Chain A
Amino acid sequence: MMHLLAILITAIFLENFVLNQILGICPFIGVSNKMDSAIGMGLAVTFVMLIAGVSTWCVNQYVLIPLKLEYLQTIAFILIIASLVQFIEMVIKKTAPNLYQALGVFLPLITTNCAVLGVALLNIKKGYNLLETTFNSLGGGLGFFLALIIMASIRERLDLAELPESMKGAPIALITAGILATAFMGFSGLV
């Protein structure tokens, strides 16, 4: 149990997908303007990362390896993620129209979020078993969520700050992310 907890903590804080491994930066910069959309996007990505991590692991283990088709990993994984996102979109639309309304725009974009494909590839690369994969994917998603809401709350304040014209928008967001990443380096050695 401690071992699984260590994987979870590592994925959230030490090897944070956004701030340490630099994956999923586009949505991180793109939707961190407002708190509401950041929460929506963060939840959706966490959910997709968890399901995608587990299902790609299963496909790799039970389909690709027995058939000796490991070289098709990238193609198979992106196909799984794309159809998964499409499927989740349809389920949410059917069962929770309110949530669908809130997430609407962000759902299809998750397919091209490199954190999702990244977590699938990293699980395989690190040789995790199913349980470890589940915790690593969940941790990766929660780490993304955490980074996104921290960033959104900082940026809401930044809107009120007086900045030189050329620093407004993306540049100051990137500098803020850099300072945040520096702060997250303080977690190293925690596990």
Chain B
Amino acid sequence: MTIDNLFKGIWKENPTFVIALGICPTLAVTTSMTNALGMGIAATCVLICSNLFISLIRKIVPDNIRIPVYIMVIATFVTIIDKLIQAYSPALSQSLGIFIPLIVVNCIILGRAEAFASKNSPIDSILDAIGMGIGFLIGLSCIAFFRELLGEGKLYGFPIPYFKEDPALIMIMAPGGFFVFGLLRALKKHLELRRAGK
């Protein structure tokens, strides 16, 4: 049963495409694969730490004030990660900007704290956090793949032949994020409908 907690976040309950949580960072930072990777890893680290900690204190926290407590725990870990990124990778910190402190209000993290870590053992909570984090990273990378390829003709900063000739700049601006995410959501729904129809 425990190993299932790891894999469900990656596909069956993928945070980006299935539950549609944390859309703001999903759309805002997916202008390049590098940003998506950085954001995915930062969010995963916060998620693992907060899930573990909340799971450990789940029996001490009174039910009435659990949400403020969870938010404080998450905010603390976000601050730590934010300062670590600033110290060791200033370039990434620059390009992600306020979206690193905004991990605090990313619904995935509070959602997993409330829905999973507050009810399950520390080990299960860590597995759940890793699975959800990887799922989030995959979701971000899917969107960033199309946006960076079409908008800049590059992937991870490397120029791709043919695409780099005449990139559509709009894809790396705000509208591109909406278009790509909307179309990917529609594609997923289409595949589901086809499977159900058979």
Instruction: Report which A residues bind B (CB closer than 8 A).
Output: 19-26, 29, 71-75, 78-79, 82, 111-114, 117-118, 121-122, 125, 164-167, 170-175, 177-179, 181-182, 185
Contact = CB atoms under 8 A, between A and B. Distances in A.
Nearest to A167: B186
Nearest first, the 7 closest Cβ-Cβ pairs linking A and B are: A174-B182, A178-B178, A166-B190, A171-B186, A22-B28, A181-B175, A175-B182
A161 B28 CA distance: 29
A171 B24 contact: no
B167 interface: no
Nearest to B82: A74
Given A166-B186, A171-B189, 20 more contacts: A19-B174, A20-B174, A22-B27, A22-B28, A22-B177, A24-B24, A26-B107, A29-B23, A78-B105, A114-B102, A165-B193, A172-B182, A175-B179, A175-B183, A177-B178, A177-B182, A178-B179, A178-B182, A181-B175, A185-B174
Contacts of A165: 189, 193
Interface size bucket, B side? 35 or more
**Which of B72, B177, B185: most chain A Cβ within 10 A?**
B185
Contact of A74 (B79, B97, B106): B79
**Which of A19, A20, A170, A173: most chain B Cβ within 10 A?**
A170
A60 B182 CA distance: 38
Nearest to B177: A22
A72 B79 contact: yes
Interface in B156-179: 170, 173-179
A83 to B, nearest CB: 8
B144 interface: no
**Which of B20, B27, B75, B181: most chain A Cβ within 10 A?**
B75
A155 B10 CA distance: 32
B94 to A, nearest CB: 12
Contacts of A167: 186, 189
B123 to A, nearest CB: 28
